[in-house]
Amino acid sequence: SYFNQELVSGTAYLRYFLENGDISKLVDSSSITLVAGEGTSILKKEKLLELFPNAKDLVGFSLTIKATVLSSQATAAETEEAELVGIKIVEARYHITAMKTSRYFKPELPYFIQVEIRNADGSPSKEVDVVAKVQVGSDTINPQKMRTDSNGVTSFTVTPPNANQLTVTVRTDEQHPPNEQGELVYTAQKYASASYMHIDVARSLRLGDTLNVFLTAKTMQLNAVTHFTYMVLTRGVILKSYRKTKESGGGPSHVRLPITPDMAPRFRIVAYYILPDGEIVADSVTVEVTELCKNKVSLSLKGRTTLEPKAMLILDLIGEPGARVGLLAVDQAVYAVNRKHQFTQDRIWKAMETFDTGCTAEGGAGVLGVFSDAGLALITSKGLRTPDRSEIGCPKVPSRKRRQLSMLQIRREAEKYTQEFRKCCVDGLKMSPTGQGCEERLKRITGPKECVDAFLQCCKKAEEYRKSESIGVQGILRRNNFMELDLMNEDDVNMRSYFPQSWGWNKYKIPASGFRKHPQIRLQLPDTITTWNMQAVSISKTRGMCLADPLLLVSTKDFFIKLHLPYSVKRGEQTEIRVILYNYIDGSLTVST
């Protein structure tokens, strides 16, 4: 569909690629007819097996579909491109990871295990049956059956015996063949010290709840332990630090901890005690603060959401008392070019998590691991010292840069031509949407001989580069990212550049008392024919930063004109201006030029 939600009829050229990391191979291509925005293309398995006769060799690859659409509704040729990436080829339907689970256990104390299960496409596996078992040698401890929640998460707790190692196995138990089930197997090692500290808490709560914390010491010198010290940390800051007297008899010591806004979206509890010989025994856990922003800020429009350009909007804004709210409207065409930078609540949380100095969700192998993984430095007179850090977060493995010298040489190829013919070279460097060769594409080039020569030379240079980058016996080609990212190409920009890509950068304050509603907001739409994605971002003392669900506003007309203008003209030079007429009126119109 167009960005104003009207359906497209015409022709679509599709290309199927197999990709794995830096490598990409064209599998098949086809053209289909679009009627009212819909068409069907089928990729047969035989096409994949032509490249890899052994189907198992396909595992690990992803399928990418690139589509070029030519509209038949326009009075002049108009094309748009899109791609669907990340269609993974896998053996198992599910992928299981252990999250918030320590790789170290303490004998005869509860060991918490939490796993996240995702489908092959990365989405959460909701309501999936799971079986789990913990083995010590040949003995199995309390096998359990569970079901994942709406986020694909499930958890269980076991109390292991005095052993040096546990083997944990988690497997999906759905109505699928055994080879399609997901499975996770890992080992957990015994805590390094003979003395243990254990924190027992609920792992997720809501703002305003009270967290019940139970602190337990297990040591041969239990009578020498008089108190616990515990701290609450979030985003690299120690919010609270307290002492709690140990309960007599060795039972758990109970602490009640109110959940406050500064703990969101995640906080960590570190607790420890000190033995007479100076040994420090510690433990840590991580707790999520959930539903922090649910229904706390909303943006709505009075009247229908399909409007004409320059129409006046009347918006209702609801937020937390005293909150400051910013509005932003973005042309959907911007997200069509690059959706990964779209502002979401999840991106806000992830940005906040970058300030967390912790490295793991639970405690480490010993006291140094507990403090270091929590983002704390520990130095004692007994010679204990956590490793020094050179950065805030955990050490990262440097990634290999993908940019290569030959790409830069190809880019410089266009710079050899004068401004007048540089675009001709750039067009030649681009890969054809329909997979045609240079000679075939050359037949459609019009213009002076210098432009034709520039196109042909640059096209052949690009073809030579692709051939030189082929690897392996199958001739798989490296992905030509420079064709998409490194070259300026004015024709591929999906936005009307003389209209704003975003607007509505206004700030408002919700009244501190009374109803949570701001007085009605009046704004005027720009001239663009598109769909606007309008968002409200709220910052408050009680909830932090929250994002409202986006409000989609369709701006369109029953009849409008689009002009394709050249990016530059010369005085006295003849210029071609392409005019496209869009008529959604039930009837004919007379147009004069």
DSSP assignment of 201-215 equals --SEEETT-EEEEEE
What is the pTM for the complete model shown? 0.66
DSSP state of 491: G
The arithmetic mean of pLDDT across residues 518-538, rounded, is 87
Q: What φ, ψ does residue 239 adopt, rounded to 5°?
A: -75, -40
Q: How confident is the model at residue 369 (pLDDT cuts 50, 70, 90)?
A: confident
Sign of CA dihedral 585, 586, 587, 588: positive
DSSP state of 371: H
Question: Which residues is 182 bridged to in the sheet?
Answer: none
Is pLDDT of 396 > 80? no
Asked whether 275 and 281 are in contact (CB, 8 A), the reply is yes
- Euclidean distance between the first and the last CA atom of the chain, given in angstroms as a whole number: 28
Q: How confident is the model at residue 579 (pLDDT cuts 50, 70, 90)?
A: confident
Lowest pLDDT segment from 106-115, 138-147, 327-336, 337-346: 337-346
Is pLDDT of 593 > 70? no
Predicted pLDDT of residue 154: 92
Residue range 134-170, pLDDT digits in tens: 998 888 887 889 999 988 999 999 999 889 999 999 9
Residue 257 burial (C-beta neighbours within 10 Å; 0-12, 13-18, 19+): buried
* Rounded to 5°, angle at Cα 270 from 290 and 377: 120
Is pLDDT of 124 > 60? yes
The arithmetic mean of pLDDT across residues 392-419, rounded, is 58
Q: How confident is the model at residue 494 (pLDDT cuts 50, 70, 90)?
A: very low
Q: How confident is the model at residue 472 (pLDDT cuts 50, 70, 90)?
A: very low
Predicted pLDDT of residue 375: 85
The number of CA neighbours under 13 Å toward the Cβ of 396 is 7
Predicted pLDDT of residue 480: 35
Question: Which residues is 232 bridged to in the sheet?
Answer: 240, 269
pLDDT top residue among 252 and 382: 252
The number of CA neighbours under 13 Å toward the Cβ of 122 is 5
Predicted pLDDT of residue 87: 81
The arithmetic mean of pLDDT across residues 564-568, rounded, is 75
| Residues with Cβ within 8 Å of residue 211, at least 6 apart in sequence | 201, 202, 205, 256, 257, 258, 259, 287
Nearest CA to 377 out of 270, 276, 286 is that of: 270
pLDDT top residue among 574 and 281: 281
Lowest pLDDT segment from 116-130, 272-286, 394-408: 394-408
Predicted pLDDT of residue 255: 93
- 256/248 Cα distance (integer angstroms): 18
Q: Spell out the SS3 assignment of 136-154.
A: ECCEEEEEEEEECCCCCEE
The number of helices, as runs of H, and strands, as runs of E, in the chain is 9, 32
DSSP state of 294: T
Q: What is the token pair recorded at 534?
A: 């309008």
Is pLDDT of 567 > 50? yes
Is pLDDT of 401 > 50? no
Predicted pLDDT of residue 54: 81
Q: How confident is the model at residue 495 (pLDDT cuts 50, 70, 90)?
A: very low
Is pLDDT of 1 > 70? no
Q: How confident is the model at residue 468 (pLDDT cuts 50, 70, 90)?
A: low
Percentage of the chain with pLDDT > 90? Answer: 19
The number of CA neighbours under 13 Å toward the Cβ of 24 is 16
The arithmetic mean of pLDDT across residues 277-293, rounded, is 88
Residue linked to tokens 């320590």: 102
Lowest pLDDT segment from 30-34, 372-376, 422-426, 511-515: 511-515
Nearest CA to 24 out of 431, 397, 398, 341 is that of: 431
The arithmetic mean of pLDDT across residues 213-240, rounded, is 91
Percentage of the chain with pLDDT > 70? Answer: 85
- 405/563 Cα distance (integer angstroms): 39
Domains, the chain, in order of start with CATH, read 10-88 (2.60.40.1940), 94-291+356-373 (2.60.40.1930), 294-355+403-557 (2.20.130.20)
Predicted pLDDT of residue 73: 59
The number of CA neighbours under 13 Å toward the Cβ of 527 is 7
Predicted pLDDT of residue 4: 60
